[in-house]
């Protein structure tokens, strides 16, 4: 059995524990489309009825669609006014609202404080903040979360629990969390997804937390803003009504049944009027001709931009293919795989097929229709050097032909990330054999096998250094990258 030096950098998998439940890209897309359309038409409109806005509470204006009572706002956007403060209710707790921004459809709540003389959040019994994901509220990506009093299990999570984590800056600079000085802490910036519904504390994770909105990490702690968690609401639909009287003056809207919600009636704008979800009004253009021309111009412009983007993407893809094909001239059987082939081979990059992850990206096991096993190496999303690395590796590695080196089968540039495809070696790596993880009743490697592996590895490296043109330097020779 020949020794093969694996060209792909071996990657270690990590334990993932998520504190945010992700949802609603569709809602954000609707938000952007509605806001853009409303802004364009605003300047050529005359306004009709206005939705009922709730009165101010605790010196804070309550914009539509937020509702503090049954006669104002939209009941789906319910908050509470208890006289001296505005309250936001979660699934099992309540938090004080400190500010509201109607333009961005966002509000900020005050996160829970620590219980006296403890490093335990006052909402620990409720396991932190849990929004109702059936309601139109979501945690934004502008929050920096500081987790306190965490268990060691978090060291393997995606959170930053290292010594340079921002949480240490906060603990050292804030007397409010002095009981947490001796405990493990972590931090992370909400994001990577458009929305979330949960900030969780529990015994097996962290027992306390706080949050800061739009935090500048370069500031000293005494310059940080007050703790807050920013929440965004979805742009509302037309107001709910019981009769025509509920639709303002009734001139520009009609109270009718909602075809999407049985038993619900809404103030739908009359023909010629459009619903503005930000202002909560129906508005009408000065002339239908201007509106038609303007809308047509916008549609044509967007279609032009879309087609131009598609064309440029196709031209770029063709160029990349040509470069790869040109690089393969004189090389041995380097194949250009289609994106469809790669997706099918890896079951659309299923987590079940993931066999490694690291600095470059992720490695998946795949199988072609003819039964050929593959090792599919995918660059990280946003890796601007990914395509260059693919082209460079194809140019060089397709020339490599040695019995002790893993064979490059080809590559693909059709998908969002560049991909390299290698032969798959199903025998584990040398590290696993040395530690007895792959013995399967055959015992540890004997010294004869170890000497052969060392000799074969040296042969492969000598070939890369002395026979390959140009010379190839592996730079990451270690037992986990050697496949016996």
pTM above 0.85, yes or no: no
For residues 419 and 411, is the Cβ–Cβ distance under 8 A? Answer: yes
pLDDT of residue 358: 67
The helix/strand count (H/E) of the chain reads as 7, 24
3-state DSSP assignment of residue 455: helix
For residues 92 and 198, is the Cβ–Cβ distance under 8 A? Answer: no
pLDDT of residue 44: 36
User: Is 476 one of the catalytic residues?
Assistant: yes
Residues 484 and 137: their CA atoms lie apart, in Å, by 54
Residues 256 and 243: their CA atoms lie apart, in Å, by 8
Per-residue b or e along 401-421, where b marks 16 or more CB atoms closer than 10 Å to that residue's CB:
ebebbbbbbbbbbbbebbbbb
- The two structure tokens encoding residue 124: 């620990």
Residues 253 and 244: their CA atoms lie apart, in Å, by 8
- The two structure tokens encoding residue 447: 């010294």
Please report the DSSP string for 235-282 in residue order.
PP-SPB-SSGGGSTTSSSEEEEE-TTSTT-EEEEEPTTEEEETTTTEE
* Low-confidence stretches of the chain (pLDDT beneath 50): 1-49, 192
User: Among positive and negative, which fits the CA dihedral 390, 391, 396, 399?
Assistant: positive
Domains in the chain, please, with CATH? 4-14+327-483 (3.30.200.20), 25-233 (no CATH)
Residues 134 and 209: their CA atoms lie apart, in Å, by 25
Q: Is there a cis peptide before residue 470, judged by omega within 30 degrees of 0?
A: yes
For residues 214 and 220, is the Cβ–Cβ distance under 8 A? Answer: no
Among 252, 236, 139, residue whose Cα is nearest residue 195: 139
pLDDT of residue 390: 64
Q: Does 377 carry a binding-site annotation?
A: yes
The Cα diameter of the chain in Å comes to 93
């Amino acid at each position: 059995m020949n020794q093969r030096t694996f060209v792909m950098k071996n990657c270690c998998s990590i334990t993932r524990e998520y504190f945010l439940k992700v949802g609603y890209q569709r809602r954000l897309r609707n938000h952007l489309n509605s806001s853009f359309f409303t802004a364009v038409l605003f300047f050529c409109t005359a306004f009709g009825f206005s939705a009922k806005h709730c009165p101010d509470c605790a010196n804070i204006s309550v914009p539509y669609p937020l509702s503090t009572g049954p006669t104002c706002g939209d009941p789906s956007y319910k908050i509470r006014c208890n006289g001296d403060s505005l309250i936001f209710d979660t699934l099992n707790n309540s938090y004080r609202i400190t500010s509201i921004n109607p333009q961005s459809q966002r509000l900020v709540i005050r996160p829970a404080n620590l219980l006296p003389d403890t490093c335990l959040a006052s909402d620990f019994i409720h396991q932190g903040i849990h929004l109702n994901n059936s309601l139109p509220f979501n945690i934004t990506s502008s929050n920096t979360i500081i987790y306190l009093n965490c268990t060691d299990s978090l060291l393997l999570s995606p959170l930053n629990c290292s010594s340079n984590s921002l949480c240490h800056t906060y603990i050292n600079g804030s007397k409010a969390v002095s009981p947490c000085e001796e405990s493990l802490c972590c931090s992370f910036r909400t994001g990577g997804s458009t929305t979330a519904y949960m900030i969780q504390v529990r015994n097996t994770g962290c027992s306390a937390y706080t949050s800061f909105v739009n935090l500048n990490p370069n500031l000293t702690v005494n310059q940080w803003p007050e703790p807050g968690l920013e929440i965004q609401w979805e742009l509302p639909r037309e107001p709910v009504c019981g009769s025509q009287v509920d639709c303002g003056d009734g001139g520009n809207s009609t109270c009718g049944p909602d075809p999407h919600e049985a038993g619900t009636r809404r103030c739908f704008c009359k023909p010629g009027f459009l619903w503005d979800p930000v202002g909560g009004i129906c508005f009408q253009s000065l002339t239908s001709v201007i509106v038609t021309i303007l809308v047509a111009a916008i549609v044509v412009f967007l279609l032009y931009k879309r087609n131009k983007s598609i064309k440029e993407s196709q031209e770029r893809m063709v160029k990349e293919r040509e470069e790869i094909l040109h690089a393969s001239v004189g090389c041995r059987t380097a194949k250009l795989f289609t994106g469809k082939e790669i997706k099918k081979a890896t079951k659309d990059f299923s987590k079940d097929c993931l066999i490694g992850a690291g600095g470059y990206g992720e490695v998946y096991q795949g199988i072609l229709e003819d039964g050929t096993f593959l090792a599919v190496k995918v660059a990280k999303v946003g890796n601007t050097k990914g395509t260059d690395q693919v082209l460079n590796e194809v140019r060089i590695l397709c020339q490599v032909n040695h019995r002790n080196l893993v064979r490059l089968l080809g590559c693909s540039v059709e998908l969002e990330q560049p991909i390299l495809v290698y032969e798959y070696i199903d025998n584990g790596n040398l590290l696993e054999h040395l530690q007895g993880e792959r013995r399967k009743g055959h015992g540890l490697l004997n010294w004869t096998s170890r000497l052969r592996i060392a000799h074969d590895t040296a042969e492969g490296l000598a070939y890369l250094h002395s026979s390959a043109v140009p010379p190839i330097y592996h730079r990451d020779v270690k037992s986990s990258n050697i496949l016996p």
